[in-house]
Amino acid sequence: MPYPNAFRALGVFILDNFLTGPECAACLTAVAVGTDRPAAVRKEGHDERVDERRRRTRLVAIEGPPESQVRVRLNDIRPALEQHFGHPLEACETPQFLRYASGDFYCAHTDGSSERDAPSYLRHRRVSTVVFLNEQSEKTRAGCYGGGELIFYGLIRDARFALCGLPLQSKAGMLVAFPCDVVHEVRPVTHGERWTVATWFAGTSEGLPHLADPPM
């Protein structure tokens, strides 16, 4: 499994220890008592619905210091993301706390869209971010999960590697950011629960109105 430095060489932004161990633990405590619902996918135009053939995961709503702290920290790194990706960015969308239980997955997809009938927030997204809240482990261990690899496609600009998926070796507290048009997927979780935070930064340009958060 490729290590983070290999992905950095391919243009992925990776920040180790974006959240400390205690901060990850505070988030996990908050999501444990939060309310959850199935996460949806976009079908056509503005139509969003649950489709467990493409995506099976739960979106957890939390309130309080962990949510606000994560949002502030994400926006604090916006200048670093702008420098890395070479594009001015707006404040991030509302962070989504995601629970992947055993068997949950997300098929290969992109986080933005160039389709004219797509919602504006999808058309203006530029950078995706994922924060890992717990550890991945091949062996069954308390608080860890197995499987659930984040797989990237197309990072190697060579047609021979177009279908070559590169799995990222993740760890708790690590933040990963990449362009919204990069194809990626989450492989099925084999044991435990995989907890992550996802959000997106829209690009800015002269005359571009402020973008509202997308439907949750």
Phi then psi dihedrals of residue 82, to 5 deg: -60, -45
Closest CA relative to residue 59, chosen from 182, 199, 173, 180: 199
Residue 187 in tokens: 């492989």
Task: Please tell us whether the domain made up of 4-37+53-202 is placed in CATH 3.30.70.580.
Answer: no
pLDDT confidence bin for 215, thresholds 50/70/90: very low
- Angle among Cα 19, 177, 158 to the nearest 5 degrees reads 145
pLDDT, position 182:
95
pLDDT, position 18:
97
pLDDT, position 158:
81
pLDDT confidence bin for 207, thresholds 50/70/90: very low
Domain ranges of the chain: 4-37+53-202
Distance (Å, rounded) from C-alpha 179 to C-alpha 176? 11
- Position with higher pLDDT, 120 vs 174: 174
Distance (Å, rounded) from C-alpha 122 to C-alpha 93? 11
Please state whether 27 falls in left (phi above 0), alpha (psi between -120 and 50) or beta: alpha
Residues 6+ apart with CB under 8 A from 181: 110, 112, 114
Burial tier of 110 (Cβ tally within 10 Å: 0-12, 13-18, 19+):
middle
Burial tier of 190 (Cβ tally within 10 Å: 0-12, 13-18, 19+):
middle
DSSP 159: G
pLDDT, position 204:
75
Closest CA relative to residue 154, chosen from 186, 110, 199, 198: 110
- Position with higher pLDDT, 178 vs 44: 178
Helix (H) / strand (E) element for 56: namely: strand 55-56
pTM: 0.91
Distance (Å, rounded) from C-alpha 132 to C-alpha 24? 8
